[in-house]
């Protein structure tokens, strides 16, 4: 009823925009106002002290705004525009409006994924990025801390009483990380403040925020967890197909996507066998990996400093081989992963595409937990081996995510800076791993090649796992076995990878995006005068829209 009234009222007030740029800015404002935390991370600091409202009334109002914008786009801006940037933005706006409507009306992850609300509690971009005076940034932190109770109250209203147990346990782990992060907040940050009233206000707000998280977690443990069952949430083949189509504009059937993924998995498995035989033909691939790759790992006391040296070597290789432009001399900094992000092995935290002041880019590495026994620490350190970390650093920093960020700052299109495709974002970083080996990184060292193959097979297992699990063809245990057998993962790591498929079905887009970029390059390479350097620079010049839209622009 409320949605009908809103739609009728907005239809009556439907306006005509003077030009496409005015309409584009209206749509961006509508989107960013609904996701102010995301807007703040983009470097749009007018959103720093605002927080999401995912309540049903606000959601219905936002949906009405999206539908109205879609009608205006169809009515007023369908004519072909000679300007390529305008054509690109029109196409990307159409995609994003449709995808937002799909996510809010069909996917509805705000009802089944607590991680949606965990993301709204983010503070690190305000604390660790020096874009304004520290006291001003802490003022925004204060507003956000005070909003935690409302965010989590809305989460309790929206979340279903019957959630998948894996999703619940992952959400609880992430929220515990938030609590741990808040625990050391005063020690790390409050000492920099000279305003005693601000310190007092922050201390009080932090205690209120911690209490809100604790109460929310207790409610989840006592009310939701007892009835939650493992392996109980699947998108189903129809919704999965629509999710892939909506997210990345891919029309291929699930069966065709699986066939392609399985074929690539078989190809890389054979390649892995051959590379392993170069090191020891009498060992299995698993034995070779454990003996020659995992055994050469960093010491946890020196890993962060050694990683800095590794990053510089990778960056110099890219420059010397003219693989892609480096738009800035600013380097990323290696740091230990914050408590609330330790579910990830490694991650890149770059400034937003619109950031004009701050340059701090943090490359997080997750070290062993302080509470772990020596055996567990040693097993974990096998994953921090030098060869695998070289491939991960290519993915996360150069020429992967961090290099992509540097290019994003020069993107002309506001839409390209703002809207991002999962397959583009992760597909690019994954594509660069293979591209770097093709360019000669590693000097033919089979250990580096094996590390690349393992990372590629992990992403292929994710690809297959998401398609098979959510279409109902595999169980979590079968998915775990797939990661152990094909990607050489130890049981604990394989289980975590399998569990991620439950709450992150889009992790199939790492490989899907790589497929798309590689196929686009293969088509363009047939044209005279093709340059890999120019291809990479032009590809990143659009921002982070779906690869299919960028392919339309580059092949026009």
Does residue 234 lie within any of the structural domains? no
Residues of the chain with pLDDT under 70: 1-14, 80, 340, 343
pLDDT of residue 285: 93
* Together in a domain, 431 and 286: yes
pLDDT of residue 7: 52
DSSP annotation of 119 = G
* Together in a domain, 187 and 281: no
pLDDT of residue 137: 95
* Together in a domain, 182 and 264: no
CB 130 within 8 A of CB 177: no
* Together in a domain, 151 and 260: no
- CB neighbour list of residue 170: distance below 8 Å, 6 or more residues apart: 114, 115, 343, 499, 502, 503
CB 184 within 8 A of CB 191: no
The residue range of the domain holding 26 is 2-227
Does residue 162 lie within any of the structural domains? yes
Does residue 480 lie within any of the structural domains? yes
The answer, yes or no, to whether the previous bond of 399 is cis (omega within 30 of 0) is yes
* Together in a domain, 48 and 117: yes
How many residues would you count in the chain?
556
* Together in a domain, 296 and 439: yes
DSSP track, 483-538: HHHHH---HHHHHHHHHHHHH-GGGGHHHHHHHHHHHHHHHHTTSTT--HHHHHHH
* Together in a domain, 297 and 190: no
Whether this prediction's pTM lies above 0.95 is answered by: no
> Which of 180, 203, 227 is at the close of a domain?
227
* Together in a domain, 200 and 273: no
DSSP annotation of 546 = -
User: In the chain, how many H helices and how many E strands?
Assistant: 26, 3
What are 285's two structure tokens? 């691939």
Does residue 236 lie within any of the structural domains? no
* Together in a domain, 197 and 256: no
Q: Give the dihedral of Cα atoms 287, 290, 295, 300; nearest 10 deg.
A: -170
Does residue 232 lie within any of the structural domains? no
* Together in a domain, 250 and 147: no
> Which of 163, 196, 227 is at the close of a domain?
227
Provide the domain count of the chain.
2
Q: Are strands 346-349 and 362-365 parallel, antiparallel or unpaired?
A: antiparallel
> Which of 174, 198, 227 is at the close of a domain?
227
Does residue 269 lie within any of the structural domains? yes
* Together in a domain, 257 and 203: no
Does residue 257 lie within any of the structural domains? yes
pLDDT of residue 15: 73
pLDDT of residue 12: 43
d(CA 333, CA 352): 16
pLDDT of residue 439: 97
- CB neighbour list of residue 202: distance below 8 Å, 6 or more residues apart: 138, 141, 142, 145, 186, 190, 193
What distance lies between CA 350 and its chain's CA centroid?
12
DSSP track, 38-101: HHHHTT-GGGTT------HHHHHHHHHHHHHHHHHHHHHS-SPPSSHHHHHHHHHHHHHHHHHH
Q: Give the dihedral of Cα atoms 527, 528, 532, 538; nearest 10 deg.
A: -70
Over the stretch 137-165, which tens digit does the pLDDT of each residue have?
999 999 999 999 999 999 999 998 788 99
DSSP track, 332-378: PEEEEPPGGGTTSSEEEEPPPTT-SS----EEEE-PPPTT--HHHHH
If one counts every other C-beta atom within 10 angstroms of the C-beta of residue 240, the result is 21
d(CA 58, CA 52): 10
* Together in a domain, 199 and 347: no
Does residue 40 lie within any of the structural domains? yes
């Amino acid at each position: 009823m409320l949605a009908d009234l809103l739609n009728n009222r907005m239809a009556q007030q439907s306006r005509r925009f003077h030009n496409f740029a005015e309409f584009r800015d209206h749509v961006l404002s509508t989107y960013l106002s609904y996701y102010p935390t995301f807007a703040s991370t983009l470097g749009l600091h007018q959103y720093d002290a605002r927080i999401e409202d995912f309540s049903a009334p606000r959601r219905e109002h936002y949906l009405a705004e999206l539908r109205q914008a879609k009608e205006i786009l169809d009515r007023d801006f369908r004519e072909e525009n000679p300007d390529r940037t305008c054509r690109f933005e029109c196409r990307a706006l159409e995609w994003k409006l449709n995808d937002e409507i799909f996510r809010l009306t069909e996917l509805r992850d705000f009802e089944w994924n607590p991680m949606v609300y965990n993301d709204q509690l983010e503070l690190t971009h305000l604390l660790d990025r020096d874009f304004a005076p520290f006291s001003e940034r802490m003022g925004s932190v204060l507003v956000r801390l005070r909003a935690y109770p409302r965010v989590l109250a809305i989460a309790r209203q929206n979340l279903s009483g019957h959630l998948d147990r894996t999703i619940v346990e992952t959400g609880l782990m992430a929220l515990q990380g938030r609590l741990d992060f808040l625990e050391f907040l005063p020690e790390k940050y409050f000492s920099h403040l000279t305003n005693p009233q601000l310190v007092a206000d922050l201390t009080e707000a932090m205690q209120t925020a911690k209490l809100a998280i604790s109460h929310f977690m207790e409610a989840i443990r006592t009310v939701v967890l007892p009835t939650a069952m493992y392996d109980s949430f699947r998108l189903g083949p129809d919704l999965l197909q629509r999710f892939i189509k909506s997210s990345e504009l891919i029309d291929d059937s699930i069966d065709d996507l699986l066939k392609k993924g399985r074929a690539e998995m078989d190809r890389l498995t054979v390649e892995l066998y051959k590379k392993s035989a170069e090191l020891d033909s009498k060992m299995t691939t698993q034995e070779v990996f454990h003996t020659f790759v995992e055994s050469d790992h960093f010491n946890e006391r020196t890993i962060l400093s050694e990683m800095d040296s590794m990053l510089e070597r990778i960056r110099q290789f890219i420059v010397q081989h003219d693989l892609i432009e480096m738009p800035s001399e600013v380097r990323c900094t290696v740091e230990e992963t914050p408590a609330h992000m330790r579910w990830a092995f490694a991650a890149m935290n770059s400034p937003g595409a619109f950031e004009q002041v701050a340059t701090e880019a943090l490359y997080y590495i997750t070290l062993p937990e302080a509470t772990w026994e020596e055996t567990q620490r040693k097993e974990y350190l096998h994953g921090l081996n030098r060869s695998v970390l070289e491939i991960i650093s290519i993915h996360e920093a150069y020429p992967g995510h961090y290099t992509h960020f540097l290019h994003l700052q020069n993107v002309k299109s506001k839409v390209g800076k703002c809207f991002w495709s999962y397959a583009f974002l992760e597909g690019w970083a994954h594509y660069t791993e293979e591209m770097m080996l093709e360019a000669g990184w590693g000097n033919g060292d089979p250990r580096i090649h094996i590390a690349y193959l393992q990372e590629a097979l992990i992403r292929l297992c994710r690809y297959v796992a998401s398609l098979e699990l959510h279409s109902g063809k595999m169980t979590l245990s079968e998915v775990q076995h797939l990661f152990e057998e094909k990607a050489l993962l130890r049981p604990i790591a394989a289980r975590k990878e399998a569990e991620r498929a439950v709450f992150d079905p889009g992790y199939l887009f790492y490989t899907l995006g790589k497929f798309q970029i590689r196929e686009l390059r293969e088509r363009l390479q047939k044209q005279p005068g093709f340059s890999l350097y120019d291809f990479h620079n032009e590809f990143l010049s659009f921002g982070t829209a779906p690869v299919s839209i960028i392919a339309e622009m580059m092949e026009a």
